[in-house]
Structure 1
Amino acid sequence: MKKMIKNMDRGILFMLLASLSFAMMGGFAKIVSHILPPVEVTFFRNIFGVVLVGIAIWKVPLKQRGGKFLLLLFRGSMGFMALLAYFYIMAHIPLGEAVTYNKTSPIFVAIFAYIFLKEKLHPSALIAIVLGFIGIILIAQPEGGNFSKYSILGIFSGIGAALAYTSIRELRKYYDTRAIVMSFMGVGTVAPLLLMLVTPYVTVPKDFDWMFAVFVMPQGVEWLYVTAVGVFATISQLLMTKAYELTKAGIVGTISYSNIVFAVIIGVMLGDPIPDFWTVLGIILVIVSGLMVAFAKEKN
């Protein structure tokens, strides 16, 4: 019993540190996204992971069945697109709001798992989904019934992440976890390079300017910023993995929402306005919604 409590305490600590690291990554990404194109920031965010996961695979070869390559590619592509949208909106809206949009993914996971994986949708999960959508509307505060480009991309970052997470449930039957992670980081490294290479030769519609840009060579302290994005992203993944090893998923998932609080604080320190009442209420509803979905899943 004492050992279980000790592991739980350590798991909570690791998740808190992971959430702080994730928020720190967001802070540096917000700074550098004002200087470098989001697609380039996405490249630097993933290149560190490719190296680390590549070393891990080299040391311990993959053991897997394989056979679902297109689904693996889909997972990587959705993860990349969600991350790209996430980095884009960071430069234009408060960090806390950007992180909250990304944390709507559990709401969409519940929906996609019901549609594609035929998982049961608990009544409390249905209530959670409704609360989550109300929270999204309160954060977006659409004018005249129209969502801004940044709100749409914020919601897309949650949907894209949810599609990636949902596909993992099927991919785990066929692929080593490291191969699944590499699919995301690999696509997230190669795709930005291709997009930056073709940008000078295509006419980019305004609605898709978040995807395309010409490579800009980082200068001086900018190298520190892009390195920090990659380092804190990797640290947060490692700490989160350790947290899930030590503590029940429901507890860890609950603590993970602390990254919204950290993000709001860091965002304000970087010059973001303090969230108004309706934004705070929306953030709270998204958090409550995510927790309800998690607890409904544990009941099932």
Structure 2
Amino acid sequence: MVKKKYKAVIYIVLSAFCFALMGLFVTKSGDLPTMQKVFFRNLFALFIAIGSLKKSGTKFEIGDKKNHAVLFVRAFGGTIGMIGNFYALGKMNLSDALMLNKMSPFFVIVFSYIFLKEKLTRFQLLTVLGAFGGSLFIIKPSFSNVDLFPAICGFLGGMGAGLAYTCVRYLGQHGVKGPVIVAYFSGFSCLFTLPFLIFQFKPMTLAQFLCLLGAGISAAGGQFSITAAYSHAPAKEISVYDYSQLIFTTILGMIFLHQFPDKWSFVGYIIIITMAVLVFIYNNFLHKASDAENKTA
């Protein structure tokens, strides 16, 4: 069980890096229509997912009818989440858009509590809220300077992503393989955005095409990683580690966008890392000790 948690943490940190890289590529792709960005990002990811299925010899099996319904909700929620996130990335400051997308771990916990009946202690909730507070020091969102509609889209994007990740957790528990989930989602997103692409297609430069290719490859890595993460451990125990994406984004911004964090960003780093360590200690030591005391009482 402990080894599964370690693997889940590694997977979710890896997914955070991949998605940070994806955000950089999407931003670098310029003023292309949002639906065009979403389509090509998922088209490349679809080819990677299909290749993974063939290479591993995994059959495209979903299971019972409930799995089909949950997989559809995962694909729909993930697609809406991505559209909202990409639109926000194109209209808002990169850090503000990321801040709104980072609402997804909160929705993961809420949806996991509602739909998956996973228990949530006050301590775990407080550490997630603490991590969110730390992220504010890094992002320093200035919503007063942003149009309301892009901000709402970004917020809904975080909600859609949270719903999608909750479904991933359920599907992983019920035997649906990660490559199947990724392939279904990527194919669904391509079909969903295809009509918009036909009527709103904008010619791309080679640089823009390569950026979208990079976004698709890094997104596929993020999807495979986060699917594996939520299949190995409950959302409440690992979602806080998703905030490492803020750190990766800052580093990538320094290197490629020449954006340098100030002292308040470093305060945010310390808070987030502290919350992550507290969650780790609680889940692996304090919570176990409490359970042992209750059993012997």
Q: Does 1:261 align with 2:247?
A: yes
Aligned length: 275
1-structure distance, mates of 2:281, 2:158: 19
Query: What SS does the aligned partner of 2:100 have?
Result: helix
1:226 Cα shift? 1.6
In structure 2, relative to structure 1, the CA distance for the partners of 1:96 and 1:265 (3 Å cut) is farther
The alpha carbon displacement at 1:185 in A equals 0.9
The offset of 1:26, in angstroms, is: 1.4
How far apart are the structure 2 equivalents of 1:115 and 1:46? 29
Change in Cα spacing, 1:61 to 1:23, as seen in structure 2 (3 Å) is same
Q: 1:65 aligns with which of 56, 63, 66?
A: 63
- Residue equivalent to 1:51: 47
| Equivalent-residue separation in structure 1 for 2:113 and 2:180 (angstroms) | 26
1:164-208 per-residue CA deviation (whole Å, 9 max, x = no partner) reads 1112233331633332222211121111112334xx5xxxxxxxx
Give how far 1:223 is off.
1.9
Q: Which residue of 1 aligns with 2:180?
A: 179
TM-score (norm 1): 0.71
Q: Is residue 107–residue 290 contact of structure 1 (8 Å, CA) maintained in 2?
A: no
Residue-by-residue CA offset, 1:51-97 (whole Å, 9 max, x unaligned)? 12223334432344231223221110110111111112112333334
The alpha carbon displacement at 1:262 in A equals 2.3
Q: If each structure's helix is expressed as a fraction of its own residues, which one has the higher value?
A: 2
Q: 2: CA distance between counterparts of 1:251 and 1:227?
A: 33
* Letter of the 2:249 counterpart: A
Matches within 5 A, 1:1-300: 19-32=16-29, 34-58=30-54, 59-68=57-66, 69-128=68-127, 130-131=129-130, 139-143=140-144, 148-172=148-172, 173=174, 175-197=176-198, 214-237=200-223, 256-269=242-255, 271=257, 299=287
In the TM superposition, residue 124 of structure 1 has moved relative to its aligned partner by 1.5
| Contact kept in structure 2, 1:268 and 1:274, CA below 8 Å | yes
Secondary structure in structure 1 of the residue aligned to 2:65:
coil
- Cα distance, 1:284–1:194 mapped onto 2, change above 3 Å: farther
1:176/1:235 Cα in 2 relative to 1: closer, same or farther (>3 Å)? closer
Displacement of 1:136 in angstroms is 7.9
Question: Aligned letter for 1:168?
Answer: V
Distance 1:235 1:194 in 2: 26
Distance 1:126 1:19 in 2: 21
C-alpha distance 232-178 of structure 1, shift in aligned 2 (>3 A): closer
In structure 2, C-alpha distance between the alignment counterparts of 1:245 and 1:119, rounded to whole Å: 14
CA shift at 1:159, angstroms?
1.2
Identity %: 28
Gap regions ≥5 residues in structure 2 = 289-297
Amino acid in the other structure paired with 1:42: V
2:105–2:239 CA contact under 8 A, matched in 1: no
Partner Cα distance (1:249, 1:154) in 2: 21
Q: Distance in 1 between matches of 2:112 and 2:75?
A: 18
Matches of 1:152 and 1:279, distance apart in 2: 25
Give the whole-Å Cα distance in 2 for the aligned partners of 1:195 and 1:135.
Answer: 38
CA root-mean-square deviation:
4.2
TM-score of the two chains, using structure 2 as the length reference = 0.71
- Relative to structure 1, the CA distance from residue 157 to residue 297 in structure 2 (aligned partners, 3 Å threshold; closer, same or farther) is farther
